[in-house]
Structure 1
Amino acid sequence: MMKLTLLLTASIAGVSAFAPTSQVTTSRTQLNAADLETLRGVGPETGGKVFDPMELAQWAPLDHLRKAELANGRSAMLATVGWSFPQLWTFKGPVDTTDPIDAFFKSDAQWWAQFILICAVGEGIKYRGEVEGKSFTGEIDKEACVDWSGRWAKMDDTQKEDIAMKELKNGRLAMIGMAGYISSVLIAGSVPALS
């Protein structure tokens, strides 16, 4: 628990070192203001506005933020399954806890090596696809970077837009869900449904 607290504190403290100057912030905000109106993801659940609760659009390019949002949303969707699975089915193994944060620190080096390798392969596939002009952000006019089923190429533009919007919204929901899971472990009673 102490290691996690120190890690989070160090991460937050280090972020301020990379904050851009106010002059750069002003020009980026003006550049992004027009782009924000056409960005996918505006809906009734966001109050008809772009989903930017921490106002990060003033600090970074929108395409970078969208890629990060989708990558984190996809990771959160997998993490939600990974968090829930041990709560429903228990099995004997090297990690003997159902607490995911405790399991995180009990995992051995072999697991971490496999995890890093899988992440590296995934990032390599995304990078190669981007160099080849493919998309992993759901751009309608581009070929998908990864299309395991082969369905993306057969869809019309309306279906592609619908799938891309669903992925974006489900990723956002998963990120919020993971925040709830983590806070329920770190702050006892903070999420009544999970206590």
Structure 2
Amino acid sequence: MVAARLLAVASILPATAAVLTLPRKSQALPWLSAPAYLQELPGNADFDPLRLGSASPALLKYYREAELKHGRLAMLAAIGWPASELWDKALADTFGIDSALTSKLEAPSVLNGGLDRISPAFWGAALGFGAAIELYGLKLRLEDRAEPLEPGNLQFDPLGMYPVERARRKRMDEAEVKHGRIAMLAVVGYAAEEYLLGTPVAVHSSGFFEPFWAHFFHV
């Protein structure tokens, strides 16, 4: 009797083990298995349906580096775009120079036009600044280190805001990735809205760019 029970338990164990080792499902696409190579990345939602990052760890780090760079630029642009539409004309008048905004008071862009009115000196300075940051990042990665730098790490934290604790660092890394992704979508939205609506984003989304009480005391 005891032997029969032991045999029954033994027959159940392989099936139980198989259930416990089922592949984890993707958070973003639940009908697909979660890619194991994304598991440790901040901001990971298991979204890589084309398996673009599966070729090698080095390629995955390159993709993450590119995402962080684009996200950081997009966060600056998400602020700078509406800020230029709100303040450029007033600042230009103050300093007695021509405003860089278009005739519709939109920020210069590929779709809005007006980029030809921007001084070549600005483009040269922007290119030089970007190249300097890239060269600095490359220098850091070519240095001999006990542990390689994480993607996007430029050893730049003058205010000491990056936490020491691993859990808090992970939260901050997650926050940067998520904010960068939202900013990239926002900048694309700015360009599309201004092209389709023909008005500055600071006007057709004015609720985001003026005090909330202005809606109650608007004349």
Identical-residue share of aligned pairs (%): 27
Q: Deviations over 1:159-179 (max 9, x none)?
A: 111111111111001001011
Counterpart of 2:135, as a letter, is G
**Alignment equivalent of 1:96, drawn from 78, 100, 106:** 100
Q: TM (normalized to structure 1)? A: 0.65
Check the 8 A contact 1:95/1:106 in 2, yes or no: no
Q: Larger helix proportion, structure 1 or 2?
A: 1
* Structure 1 vs Structure 2 CA RMSD: 3.2
After superposition, residues 156-171 of structure 1 pair within 5 angstroms as 156-171=165-180
- 1:77 and 1:104 map into 2 onto residues whose CA distance is 21
After superposition, residues 11-90 of structure 1 pair within 5 angstroms as 33-42=35-44, 49-52=45-48, 56-57=52-53, 61-89=59-87, 90=89
- Tell me the equivalent position of 2:137: 126
- 1:40 and 1:165 map into 2 onto residues whose CA distance is 5
Residues 58/161 of structure 1: CA separation in 2 closer, same or farther (3 Å cut)? closer
Structure 1 spans left out of the alignment, 5+ residues: 1-31, 43-48
- Tell me the equivalent position of 1:137: 151
Structure 2 spans left out of the alignment, 5+ residues: 1-33, 207-219
Counterpart of 1:107, as a letter, is I
- Tell me the equivalent position of 2:184: 175
Give the 3-state SS of the residue equivalent to 1:99 in structure 2: coil
Counterpart of 1:88, as a letter, is L
Give the 3-state SS of the residue equivalent to 1:38 in structure 2: coil
Q: Tell whether 2:154 aligns with 1:150.
A: no
Aligned pairs, number: 152
Check the 8 A contact 1:77/1:171 in 2, yes or no: yes
Check the 8 A contact 2:35/2:48 in 1, yes or no: no
- Tell me the equivalent position of 1:115: 126
- 1:50 and 1:64 map into 2 onto residues whose CA distance is 17
- 2:205 and 2:181 map into 1 onto residues whose CA distance is 20
How far does residue 87 in structure 1 lie from its aligned partner after superposition? 2.2
Check the 8 A contact 1:126/1:136 in 2, yes or no: no
Q: TM (normalized to structure 2)? A: 0.58
Check the 8 A contact 1:77/1:170 in 2, yes or no: yes
Check the 8 A contact 1:72/1:175 in 2, yes or no: yes
Mean CA deviation greater in 104-113 or 59-68 = 59-68
Q: Deviations over 1:64-122 (max 9, x none)?
A: 11111000000001111110112222321344314221343321211111111110111
